[in-house]
Amino acid sequence: MEFLAEYMGFLAKTVTLVVAIVVVLVSIALLRGKGRRHVGQLQVDKLNDFYKELHQRLEQSVLDKDQLKAAHKAEAKAAKLEKKAGGHKPRVYVLDFDGDIKASATDRLRHEITALLSMATANDEVVLRLESGGGMVHSYGLASSQLARIRQAGVPLTICIDKVAASGGYMMACIGEKIISAPFAILGSIGVVAQLPNVHRLLKKHDIDFEVLTAGEYKRTLTVFGENTEKGREKFQEDLETTHELFKNFVARYRPQLAIEQIATGEVWLGLSALEKQLVDELKTSDEYLAERAKQADLYHLHYAEKKSLQERVGLAASVALDRFALTWLSRLQQQRFW
């Protein structure tokens, strides 16, 4: 027992020393990385190879030896004729935008667009697979401006929506010369919303004062802690109406076929209804559209991956762990509540 106690004491000291060394090394790495600019890298994958591999894998599983040989012979003959005909296939540059409330994916999108515009011509095409329920006005305004660069360069832009493109998401989508939607994707929500709590009466009940000092009549219209006035509410509503008007004009500029006053009510529609209202041009999934284009063009998927610092990687890992923990406990609470 004495030996075991000594061994456990030695083990505890060793672990403590190792942990201390790791903490020091991580701290040094974080300090060195602080303030340093992290350069990303553009990743390019040819999607034709992906579709070809799927096709070949299915052929190998389904066809017998003679059929497989005949199929390979036919494919080789078609490739030979295509090569003999000469000329270059048009290029399709495929981008992805998975939007959160801050449109954080804009940081990648801007670099991807800059890269493709250095080569793309009017004979090529850009396809954006867009998923977003909207978010901050200025954030989605910038994301939309990035897509407008493609239109201004004269390069055809197609937007594919499989799940949702609403509010700021539709603001981005409307810039496409062609909008393709899955039958049950959610579209629209051309409106503006703002909300905030006000705890002034609660503070007043407990004799707590909260002072708001401003220079400028409308520097602060509505507040969380202060007493809101009818004049402040009217100004806040006026600002919302102005933003909504700008939103409507922006959509009408790129989709003049829309009856803008009828659809800019903040409502949303599924793809089937959105087609009737001309919010979209065609009902089709992005998989179907890209598989068809792969037969006629060379498809290149662009993804700008930014190299994250150690501090960012540690923070991201911690964030993911906390999210998983929260989801696990939320799931358990829901089960306890409903079951």
Q: Binning pLDDT at 50, 70 and 90, where does residue 79 land?
A: low
Q: Binning pLDDT at 50, 70 and 90, where does residue 339 land?
A: very low
Active-site positions? Answer: 167, 219
* pLDDT of residue 327 exceeding 60: no
How far apart are alpha carbons 58 and 151 in whole angstroms?
A: 39
| AA identity, residue 260 | I
- What's the pLDDT tens digit per position in 186-232? 999 999 998 889 988 898 889 898 888 889 888 888 888 888 899 99
Please give the share of the chain, as a percent, with pLDDT higher than 90. Answer: 55
* pLDDT of residue 74 exceeding 90: no
Query: Which whole number is the average pLDDT over 63-91?
Result: 73
- What's the pLDDT tens digit per position in 291-309? 999 988 999 999 999 776 6
Q: What share of the chain is helix, strand, coil (3-state, %, to 5)?
A: 55, 15, 30
pTM of the model: 0.76
How far apart are alpha carbons 226 and 248 in whole angstroms?
A: 33
Q: Using a CB cutoff of 8 Å and minimum separation of 24, what contacts does 275-279 make?
A: 275/181, 279/170, 279/179, 279/181, 279/187, 279/188, 279/255
Q: How many CB atoms lie within 10 A of CB 286?
A: 22
Work out the mean pLDDT of the chain and round it to a whole number.
Answer: 84
* pLDDT of residue 276 exceeding 70: yes
Q: Binning pLDDT at 50, 70 and 90, where does residue 91 land?
A: very high
The number of helices, as runs of H, and strands, as runs of E, in the chain is 12, 10
How far apart are alpha carbons 301 and 324 in whole angstroms?
A: 30
Kindly give the pairing relationship between strand 186-188 and strand 268-270.
antiparallel
CB 251 within 8 A of CB 190: yes
- What's the pLDDT tens digit per position in 102-151? 999 999 999 999 999 999 999 999 999 999 999 999 999 999 999 999 99
Domains (range + CATH), the chain = 36-61+90-189+267-307 (3.90.226.10), 192-257 (no CATH)
